[in-house]
Structure 1
Amino acid sequence: MTNQNQTGWNFDNSYARLPKSFFTSQNQNPVRSPNLIILNGLLAKSLGLNVEELQTVEGVEVLAGNRIPKGGCPIAQAYAGHQFGHFTMLGDGRALLLGEQITPQGDRYDIQLKGSGRTHYSRGGDGRAALGPMLREYIVSEAMDALGIPTTRSLAVVETGEKIARETYLPGAILTRVAASHIRVGTFQYVAKWGTVEELRILADYAIKRHYQEIENGENRYLSLLQEVINRQAALVAKWQLVGFIHGVMNTDNMTISGETIDYGPCAFMDTYDPETVFSSIDVQGRYAYGNQPYIAGWNLARFAETLLPLLHDDEKEAVEIAQDAISGYMNKYQKNWLEGMRAKLGIFNEEKEDAALVEELHNIMLKYRADYTNTFRGLTFDKMEDTPLYGTPEFTKWHELWQARLGRQDESKESSLELMRNTNPAVIPRNHRVEEALEAAVNEGDLSVIKKLLNVLSKPFEHSPEQEEYCKLPAPSNLPYRTFCGT
């Protein structure tokens, strides 16, 4: 343990004060020769941390899991989950929660080391992580934050100096992940399956106190908890769809109670618009395809509702009816969020009944002509559709006339619509070929300049600057589908 706390660590460990069955205290697994690859200075400062001290030998050893920071209490959290529809016992098999950092503003964030070694919950494997997947999570999670999408954040990536075995031997690494919390739907499933009703109540009360204090004294706070989680997930998944983000592994252990995006394994952003797009190498049935994500979120929320039944009402039948009533409203909430977002992407301020049909027709045309999702909306924003496959087609010409007429039926000016579209349609996303280019340079050549330039561009997605033009370009045509891997 460090004797000094010049770095600014200010830990509390409220989760570690919950029932012992919720977690396992864990010894750290030191690595051979930690080397700081990348550090998120702005995030560090917002957490109240000293950027310079984090880069010292002692600071890097904390980020590598070799040293416990002052006040830290390393634990591995227990949880279960439906993985591709199949229920199983899980838990942090390669991660350690160091503690909860209390910021100068009084906010609370989990500080977790991902790839820190085997734990009580490891299910085979070495509990380690490779440098490439950890850098991928750093890139994509920070891009999501810049896009205004609730997400876990990445504080640092440290190379361990050790090789790990996957298909070949790869350089090992540890990611420091920052989250509002790591309480998942799967956490509730674990306690509902293997704990007592009283332990379930303790977990629910903890989640409410941590994320939804405004409902703490409500008449039925557990129903309110269910409703609030539904609201946040409906808003979150709508935001995913609006930028073409595909999570890849929407298992119930990867859905947070806080409403943050978590676990950037085989994730990617869609180029060509197609609802059936799947990138994950393990999603052979397309369960988590882009077009399925809203429905899978509803399925996951139903599993969450099931865990709360003993708390919703003493009578099981009555509890089921309460839960079903809450869940039945999810899809309408999702659709409302998504349509509001689509209106903004098209510069529309007010509501008309025909808006959904207008949006649907645009997507149909994009699908038919295999248009790039992001660049289509970017082209509409600046009236530069010449470089898209939609340009000059009869379907798009007709649609464009309907859209222009729709914009004319609102009080706001064309300049206001343009400003709304500029602030809603990103110029840049973490395009897959750009991410791979950055990872290859960093992992294979030790060149971090490519990843740093990419991160800088992604940090200002709505800037629409000339410097971003090259990052808007599509990858070269390929006969092979793009595939991502979870890195475990």
Structure 2
Amino acid sequence: MKISQLKVTTPYLKLDLVFFDLVEPTPLKKPFLISASKDAAKLLGVDEDITKDEKLVEILNGTYKLEGSKTFSMCYAGHQFGYFVPRLGDGRAINLGKVNGQNLQLKGSGLTLYSRQGDGRAVLRSSIREYLMSEAMHGLGIATSRALALIGSETDVARERWEKGAIVLRISPTWVRFGTFEYFKAKGEHDKLQKLADYVIDESFAHIKNTEGMYAKMYEEIVRNTAITIAKWQSVGFNHGVMNTDNMSIEGRTIDYGPFAFLDDYEPNYVCNHTDAEGRYSFKNQPGNAHWNLQALALAISPIINHDRALKILEETYGPTYEEYYLNIMYEKMGLYEKDKKDIELFKWMLGSLESAVIDYTRFFRILSRYERDKKSILEMAVYQTPLSEWLDAYDKRLEKETLSAQERYARMLSVNPKYILKNHILQEAIEKAETSDFSMIEELLTVALSPFEEHKELEHLAKATPMSAKNIKLSCSS
């Protein structure tokens, strides 16, 4: 089946009119296809080469409607950097409909009712970043929205400079956010809260439908999924940058890729968002921010779930789930499979050593995956070697307790320690080439994004060390 042959439904439009606004996309001038993810297309049941569908560009540009499609934007509120904004909504995103359990959405497709002072557009650089990072997070095994395709255009868009407009067709099992619930709580429309909860259960948590206490169970699912996703973020060194409640998926998925970054050197205080002057959304603060956002959600749903009960669920579920998943992943990354109560001390020591040593987080774990007690391979990457050298002495002793052969340990560690991470300096290189109409690097990055644990000998250059001038830089929200 071709993508242009898909038949979509619009179950969200069965909700009251206040939940959404019907709006038509505003086409870009002279649109052209930049890239498409055949892997993401499989989620829609598309079995033909998506790039060969003559209607693909028109679908992304909003000039060809899929059968059954009624285009709309969604309304929601949100806490932005801790301050409540009563109405936000899809300011530049327009939904096309749902097929095969996936909601199709155009980002950068023009003005909506919720655009406020914006223009409803997205520029090429931010669209490239979202397109590639959506697929990269999936490749890393982290719950995320996906990106189906990316188009460029000749439409001029004003940001800090004039740039070209682009559109990403992204897909997700849901686009409901924490802020969607906050919107109706703030308006005092508690009947709408319950309708929204019923919709969310139908769409995302059907296994608890019509069970006793299903709204409390829904909240518990949200808490658990969020904790797991944040644990995975921390394990790979991902900094989201804008963890506002309107950017938090009700399924715990990673959505809305703005000024994100992966750590270069291990720097827990790193803040990737230039707008975040106070460091609210620093890398180390992400677990706490997620907890704060879940508290805000507990308050938002308090008309349908007893607030004290929700907070009890939060305290009993979030911390234990996060700690269990995070430590298990990190022990796997360290190659520790035999249980030892002292491993937590070794783990904390390792993080402290990495910070003191000034060393690339991703490359450290990849090289550790083939570590044969030859410190040189690791220490030569560090600016300050002594802290890491002392830790490696303790690590050597700990490995003596492992029963796996060295080769078995290497194989398991290589399967959880990615070689390819889409760091900002690599993405920037691809963007600069794209701005000269050279899109070849986007295809290379898509390849490694979807299989980051493999070697890809021909793409070895994409795993190169970050230049000193580009380490742990900050990005703006402008897109």
Task: Give the TM bin, normalised by the shorter chain.
Answer: over 0.9
SS in 2 for 1:178: strand
Match of 1:399 in 2: 391
Gap change, CA 1:217 and 1:56, over 3 Å in 2: closer
Match of 2:222 in 1: 229
TM score, norm. by length of structure 1: 0.92
The answer (yes or no) to whether the contact 1:227–1:326 under 8 Å persists in 2 is yes
Gap change, CA 1:428 and 1:53, over 3 Å in 2: closer
1:284-320 Cα offsets, whole Å, 9 max, x none, are 11110100001000000111111121212xxxxxx23
Distance in 2 of aligned mates of 1:83 and 1:27 = 27
Q: Does 1:323 align with 2:279?
A: no
Q: Does 1:141 align with 2:134?
A: yes
The answer (yes or no) to whether the contact 1:44–1:51 under 8 Å persists in 2 is no
1:418-456 Cα offsets, whole Å, 9 max, x none, are 22211110111002111100010012x100112212222
| 293, 299, 319: which one aligns with 1:300 | 293
Gap change, CA 1:30 and 1:458, over 3 Å in 2: closer
| 402, 417, 424: which one aligns with 2:416 | 424
Gap change, CA 1:6 and 1:467, over 3 Å in 2: closer
Shift of 1:268: 1.0
The answer (yes or no) to whether the contact 1:54–1:60 under 8 Å persists in 2 is no
- Of 4-13 and 241-250, more deviation after overlay is shown by 4-13
Match of 2:17 in 1: 20
Distance in 2 of aligned mates of 1:51 and 1:34 = 22
Match of 1:441 in 2: 433
Moved over 6 A (4+): none
Matched letter for residue 368 of structure 1: S
| 337, 346, 353: which one aligns with 1:365 | 353
The answer (yes or no) to whether the contact 2:73–2:112 under 8 Å persists in 1 is yes
Q: Does 1:460 align with 2:451?
A: yes
Distance in 1 of aligned mates of 2:229 and 2:470 = 33
Q: Does 1:113 align with 2:106?
A: yes
Gap change, CA 1:55 and 1:161, over 3 Å in 2: farther
Shift of 1:474: 1.7
Distance in 2 of aligned mates of 1:183 and 1:223 = 17
- Of 199-208 and 326-335, more deviation after overlay is shown by 326-335
The answer (yes or no) to whether the contact 1:247–1:268 under 8 Å persists in 2 is yes
Tell me the number of residue pairs that the alignment of Structure 1 and Structure 2 aligns. Answer: 472
The answer (yes or no) to whether the contact 1:8–1:48 under 8 Å persists in 2 is no
Match of 1:316 in 2: none
Gap change, CA 1:62 and 1:479, over 3 Å in 2: closer
Distance in 1 of aligned mates of 2:461 and 2:384 = 21
Alignment of 1:339-354 (within 5 A): 339-354=327-342
| 356, 366, 376: which one aligns with 2:344 | 356
- Of 30-39 and 401-410, more deviation after overlay is shown by 401-410
Matched letter for residue 476 of structure 1: P
| 159, 162, 165: which one aligns with 1:169 | 162
Distance in 1 of aligned mates of 2:125 and 2:18 = 33
| 213, 231, 254: which one aligns with 1:220 | 213
Shift of 1:487: 3.0
- Of 331-340 and 225-234, more deviation after overlay is shown by 331-340
1:166-202 Cα offsets, whole Å, 9 max, x none, are 1111111111011111010011111222252221111
Q: Does 1:379 align with 2:367?
A: yes
Structure 1: state its 5+ residue gaps: 103-107, 313-318
- Of 383-392 and 263-272, more deviation after overlay is shown by 383-392
| 449, 455, 461: which one aligns with 1:470 | 461
Shift of 1:50: 6.0
SS in 1 for 2:169: strand
Match of 1:315 in 2: none
The answer (yes or no) to whether the contact 1:366–1:390 under 8 Å persists in 2 is no
Distance in 1 of aligned mates of 2:54 and 2:321 = 49
Match of 1:73 in 2: 70
The answer (yes or no) to whether the contact 2:419–2:454 under 8 Å persists in 1 is yes
Q: Does 1:279 align with 2:272?
A: yes
Distance in 1 of aligned mates of 2:343 and 2:379 = 25
Matched letter for residue 324 of structure 1: L
Distance in 2 of aligned mates of 1:30 and 1:454 = 27
Distance in 1 of aligned mates of 2:195 and 2:110 = 29
- Of 23-32 and 217-226, more deviation after overlay is shown by 23-32
Match of 2:374 in 1: none
TM score, norm. by length of structure 2: 0.94
Matched letter for residue 465 of structure 2: L
The answer (yes or no) to whether the contact 1:150–1:259 under 8 Å persists in 2 is yes
Gap change, CA 1:277 and 1:16, over 3 Å in 2: same
Distance in 2 of aligned mates of 1:433 and 1:479 = 6
Match of 1:42 in 2: 39
Match of 2:83 in 1: 86
Distance in 1 of aligned mates of 2:421 and 2:4 = 33
SS in 2 for 1:382: coil
Match of 2:5 in 1: 8
SS in 1 for 2:5: coil
Alignment of 1:306-317 (within 5 A): 306-312=299-305
SS in 2 for 1:73: coil
| 58, 61, 64: which one aligns with 1:64 | 61
| 308, 312, 321: which one aligns with 1:333 | 321
SS in 2 for 1:177: strand
Shift of 1:18: 1.2
Shift of 1:211: 1.2
Match of 1:33 in 2: 30
The answer (yes or no) to whether the contact 1:7–1:50 under 8 Å persists in 2 is no
Distance in 2 of aligned mates of 1:398 and 1:476 = 27
- Of 184-193 and 402-411, more deviation after overlay is shown by 402-411
Matched letter for residue 74 of structure 1: T
Distance in 1 of aligned mates of 2:359 and 2:418 = 16
SS in 1 for 2:355: helix
Shift of 1:259: 1.6
The answer (yes or no) to whether the contact 2:73–2:93 under 8 Å persists in 1 is yes
Matched letter for residue 320 of structure 2: N
- Of 449-458 and 245-254, more deviation after overlay is shown by 449-458
- Of 343-352 and 178-187, more deviation after overlay is shown by 343-352
